[in-house]
Structure 1
Amino acid sequence: MSVQDSDSAPAGTDSDVVLIDKRPFVRVGARPNIFRYIGQMWSYRHFILFDARARVAGSAANDALGRLWMLLNPILNGATYFLVFGVLLGTGRGIENFLGYLIIGVFMFRYTTSSVTAGSKAIVGNRPVIRAFSFPRATLAVATNVRELISNIPTFLMMFVLVLAIPPSEPITWAWLLFVPALALNFIMNLGLGLFLARLVARWNDVTHLIAFGTRAWLYLSCVFFSADRFAGNEPLTALMNANPMFCVLDIVRDILLYGGMGDPARWLVLGAWALGALVIGGLVFWQAEESYGREQ
């Protein structure tokens, strides 16, 4: 019996010839370099879209009102905040079109918190799939954020309708088109935060409880139902709010939809920096633990 290299064996050799593949062995489940990892994720783009759509379709299958709850939840939350903060506590005094202001705050903040919270559970909620198949684990976090975006499209449309319908109704302007890049930056930021938190939750499940408290504090620091002008004399708190990416999202969207503006350029810069920074840092942090996600905890 003779032995030949696979790249030099002539055609039509006998069956007793052993062909040797000289390519180096690759460990199963090994973490690829970051650029190859990104390329692998791109090859799974169809899976990401299919998974997101399938989960949206089945998310409300057990509810009698089905997908209507996607609209009812933010509306009911907004009505509660309006009653407590607008009527009882009077936080809406001095805010032009407070109802529209509150609606945008509640709807946009709910989208962000649901995306970040769901993204943080992308690994722990899919352990059986991770152990059964080999694929880039980050696709699960991406699919989760795409799912949240798709499921919130009716919510955004309802937000537009309410802003147009509730007095003082606001006219549609060309500036409304800027909602798309604002939402895109918001999506990127949510994805980056979700990737970062997904690694922490995969390692320490107790982090999920801290996320709940963190989003609650984030709610109050983002001026969802009151104006930042209330803290005009407090420079440290004002600086903290100006650096808050969610406050920037709300301020930009409110300026676009309610006040005929295009958003403060400083808000766009802060939001863009957060979106890029969160995606890069969150992606790298998640990628570094790629080989550990399928292990038993």
Structure 2
Amino acid sequence: MATDDASTPSSAGDIEHIKINASNLSKVGFRPSFWTYLKQVWEFRHFIIFDSRSRIAGDAAKDSLGQTWLVLNPILNGAAYFLVFGIMLGTGRGIENFVAYLIIGVFMYRFTVSAIVAGSKAISGNRSLVTAFNFPRMTLPIAINVRELMRQMIAFVTMIGLIAIIPPLEPISWKWLMFIPIVAIQFLFNLGLSLVLARIVTVWNDFSHIITFGTRIWMYLSAIFYGVERFEDLPIVLTFMYANPLFCILDMTRDVLLYDAWPDPMRWLVLGSWTVGLLVAGSIIFWQGEETYGREER
């Protein structure tokens, strides 16, 4: 005659007495406190690096030339801008070493735009991943910005190489090392702006089209292929230009790589203020939407 195992509930009444320890369970998509959230993001730092590297390798495998396009794209764009603005429209008149001036503008602009456009779609472009797994969603825009930084390393080496070999040759000095902190601040600026835009796009997906249009206007307003000196008689325009964080990045880079000069302290102040403000505001805004990312419908 079969007997019941003593450890197995024999009736519904026994089942009622089973206790479940739920202390280690958490709600999927639950938003923790802000500082706890940032700590969780830090714990995913290895995932961020792995995801960045793997996606770069995957994207490169799709094209025959692979990562060569990271160099060819800005060079081809620069050549087109030089033809239209430098030769046909003559916007480079009066600018010392206009070719290098234009190269810096195109390469540095491309870094910021590539990062924020891709970062703005960090949630909307990874909907299946967001809904399937429980992890701090801020890791996605961070991973995208790290990926763009890794990609641009090759482009930056190419940019500096072109500046060094295209006449008139620029003197190499210790000031060139200042390019490293400039890129570091640019990366943090890109990240802060990406966090803000990613949150907006999850609420209103059509805003991604406005971003594309806005970055194009931003390019024309940042002195990429013309000198800011042409606005010396228009103080309002100059004030707006000096408050433009992208112009600050370009001007600082040109100072250290082209003109053997230390960047204007006001450029550091303006760019630093934009960067800190966007990082703080972007982190808070993005964190506030943490519980909504997995369930929002488009």
Three-state SS of the structure 1 residue aligned to 2:61 is coil
Q: In the alignment, what sits opposite 1:262?
A: 262
TM-score, length-normalised on structure 2?
0.92
Three-state SS of the structure 2 residue aligned to 1:61 is helix
Aligned-residue CA RMSD (Å): 1.6
Aligned length: 282
Residue 46 to residue 24, structure 1, CA distance change in 2 (3 Å): closer
Unpaired runs of at least 5, structure 2: 1-16
Q: Which runs of 4+ in 1 moved over 6 A?
A: none
Instruction: Find the aligned partners of 1:154 and 1:265 in 2 and give their Cα distance.
Output: 29
Q: In the alignment, what sits opposite 1:142?
A: 142
TM-superposed CA distance for 1:24, in Å, is 9.0
1:113-169 alpha-carbon deviations (Å, 9 max, x no partner): 000100001001111111110000000000000000001100000000000000011
Q: In the alignment, what sits opposite 1:127?
A: 127
Task: Report the AA paired with residue 233 of structure 1.
Answer: D
Q: In the alignment, what sits opposite 2:111?
A: 111
Q: In the alignment, what sits opposite 1:91?
A: 91
Q: In the alignment, what sits opposite 1:230?
A: 230
Q: In the alignment, what sits opposite 1:289?
A: 289
TM-superposed CA distance for 1:30, in Å, is 1.1
Is the CA contact (8 Å cut-off) linking 2:29 and 2:294 kept in structure 1?
no
Q: In the alignment, what sits opposite 1:48?
A: 48
1:156-195 alpha-carbon deviations (Å, 9 max, x no partner): 0000000000001112211111111110110001001001
Unpaired runs of at least 5, structure 1: 1-16
TM-superposed CA distance for 1:23, in Å, is 4.6
TM-score, length-normalised on structure 1?
0.92
Three-state SS of the structure 2 residue aligned to 1:60 is helix
Instruction: Find the aligned partners of 2:153 and 2:27 in 1 and give their Cα distance.
Output: 42
TM-superposed CA distance for 1:29, in Å, is 2.0
How do 1:186-201 and structure 2 match up within 5 A?
186-201=186-201
1:223-263 alpha-carbon deviations (Å, 9 max, x no partner): 00001111111111111110000000000000000000121
Task: Report the AA paired with residue 238 of structure 1.
Answer: L
Q: In the alignment, what sits opposite 1:100?
A: 100
Task: Report the AA paired with residue 294 of structure 2.
Answer: G
Q: In the alignment, what sits opposite 1:14?
A: none
Residue 84 to residue 50, structure 1, CA distance change in 2 (3 Å): same
1:205-232 alpha-carbon deviations (Å, 9 max, x no partner): 1001100111011101110000111111
